[in-house]
Amino acid sequence: MKARFKPKYNIRKGDSVVVITGDDKDLSKPRIVKEVLVEDGKVLVEGVNIITKHTKPSAQNTKGGIVKKEAPIHISNVMLWDAAQKAGARITRVRKEGKTERVFKTTKTQGGK
């Protein structure tokens, strides 16, 4: 993603999210974000988008073989998990005492972890 300014996202590492589109879509099962790739606009979510990678034998991996690992998905395909509603929810940023907080739009409670 080529942009003049670095984009800001409402999803951070360690947040509980719900996958809302794609092969791993499950609106009732929250999953944990492992990493946010800001430049690509993607997130690495635990147990989502599993790919198989064939590896050659090397010094670290003497056997080689097939390795299963998670691949990143686009950040628009996930939604922050609201534990109070037990569903995905939209979020907005609100400034309180000089700090920015993430707040769910429906319940007006603080969002995130």
Q: Which of 36, 28, 24, 109 is nearest to 72 (CA)?
A: 36
**Global confidence as pTM:** 0.83
Q: What is the CATH number of the domain that holds 40?
A: 2.30.30.30
Q: What DSSP assignment string belongs to 87-108?
A: EE--EEEEEETTEEEEEETTT-
Count up the domains in the chain and report the number.
1
In which domain, by residue range, is 22 found?
16-57+65-104
Is 43 part of a structural domain of the chain?
Answer: yes
Condensed to tens digits (0 to 9), the pLDDT of residues 62-95 reads 888 999 999 999 999 999 999 999 999 999 999 9
Closest by CA position to 100, among listed 110, 90, 108: 110
In a domain, 3, yes or no: no
pLDDT bucket at 108, cuts 50 / 70 / 90:
confident
